[in-house]
Amino acid sequence: MTPPGDTVSIPVEKLKRSLRAEAAIAPPSVTPTPVTKETQIIAIYGKGGIGKSFTLANLSYMMAQQGKKILLIGCDPKSDTTSLLFGGRACPTIIETSSKKKLAGEPLEIGDVCFKRDGVYAMELGGPEVGRGCGGRGIIHGFETLEKLGFHDWGFDYVLLDFLGDVVCGGFGLPIARDMCQKVIVVGSNDLQSLYVANNVCSAVEYFRKLGGNVGVAGLVINKDDHTGEAQAFAAAAGIPVLAAIPAHEDIRRKSANYEIIGTPESEWGALFAELAGNVAAAPPVRPKPLTQDELLGLFKGEAVGRGVTLQPATFEDMCGRSQIQKPSLEVVYDAV
């Protein structure tokens, strides 16, 4: 008979052993074989609000006007990638729609989640409600659903994935970690935070390249370029090309705010996005050289980023408001024999 005191400890220990065994399982290795897909799958990363969705909507539209078959997939939990493409209208997300279909006992069809405009096909993965789940896990679930819909059999020239730049999260870093794309494009500006995120993306690419991955960085798109030069300097230091510099122009800001596509052949900005489309298509995936924190700060003037600040250690008196009383040690010290 099991002693009364051990009735709880046995299942707890069993659970601990199970969790340790699960934690010890290594994730699937990245396939080291060369990329052979005809479809170019490109993941675009950047800091929230830096203009990824604006860049992608206009880029995808221009590529479609050039005769390419384009699929744009929004992978940001905000689900706003396709809003500019569809004139501000919200696109039903894969996660929400698939849940409703499942509850109703109905199969999910491509037409439930994929919509098109002027040759651009677009969809949103979506994510959990605020405070109710992990955005990264939502991404993983979304791609599992795409695979069930036949994602790998679709015949597109380009698939553009819009990802939040927080690659510390395994879900957002999925295309890099699992070789789901051939190359990565980063969107940044002449500010420290956006380049910090761009540098993190380069670090993630370099990390998985060391593990045998194939994904590389095709280049940097500078958005809201005010010609101060920090983004250009970052690209040069990281060893990646600048694919386009979109100026900080009032006409672009106003039209974007009104959900107006400017990446059209007849637009005054058409040549800019036509050049970007060509560069995106031709740029090879290169292995970046991530910068250290000090190197990144060095791209900016000291007064702009506070480089003159020194680290001053805190004391016991600072923390407790009183002096520390030195107590005698109980350590036993043995004489050498």
Active site residue 116: no
CB within 8 Å of 136: residues ≥ 6 apart: 169, 170, 171, 172, 174
Active site residue 166: yes
Identity of the residue numbered 289: K
| Beta strand 216-225 pairing with 183-188 | parallel
CB within 8 Å of 175: residues ≥ 6 apart: 41, 43, 161, 163, 181, 184, 215
Q: Which of 52, 183, 224, 255 is flagged as catalytic?
A: 52
Active site residue 255: no
Gap between the Cα atoms of 3 and 232, Å rounded = 71
Q: Which of 68, 78, 116, 289 is flagged as catalytic?
A: 78
Rg (CA), the chain: 25
CB within 8 Å of 287: residues ≥ 6 apart: 205, 206, 209, 216, 217, 239
Neighbours of 268 (CB within 10 A): 11
Phi-psi region of 212 (alpha: psi -120 to 50; beta: other; left: phi over 0): left
Gap between the Cα atoms of 294 and 297, Å rounded = 5
Please state the separation of Cα 216 from the chain's center in Å.
Answer: 14
Q: Which of 47, 183, 224, 255 is flagged as catalytic?
A: 47
Residue 75 tokens, joined: 């992978």
Gap between the Cα atoms of 82 and 13, Å rounded = 49
Active site residue 78: yes
Q: Which of 80, 112, 166, 289 is flagged as catalytic?
A: 166
CB-CB contact of 122 with 72 (8 Å): yes
Cite the active site residues. 47, 52, 78, 166
